Amino acid sequence: MDVQQVANYLNKPRSWVYENWRPEGIPFKKIGQSLRCRPADLERWIDRQEG
């Protein structure tokens, strides 16, 4: 998934994803200049969130 897909999935703006992926620990990997996230990794990250 790219940043836009993750933002859509989380119902957040792209800017929030870019600003918060490191502090929040969203499991992105840099592929060249792009951020990518596996859907299964994102699901595990969501499951670990409180509230």
Domain spans of the chain? 3-48
Confidence of residue 50 (pLDDT cuts 50, 70, 90): confident
The gap between the terminal CA atoms of the chain, to the nearest Å, is: 24
List CB contacts of 34: < 8 A, sequence separation 6 or more: 2
Residue 36 has a pLDDT of: 98
> The pTM is what?
0.90
pLDDT tens digits for range 6-46:
999 999 999 999 999 999 999 999 999 999 999 999 999 99
How many Cβ atoms are within 10 Å of 6's Cβ, its own excluded? Answer: 22
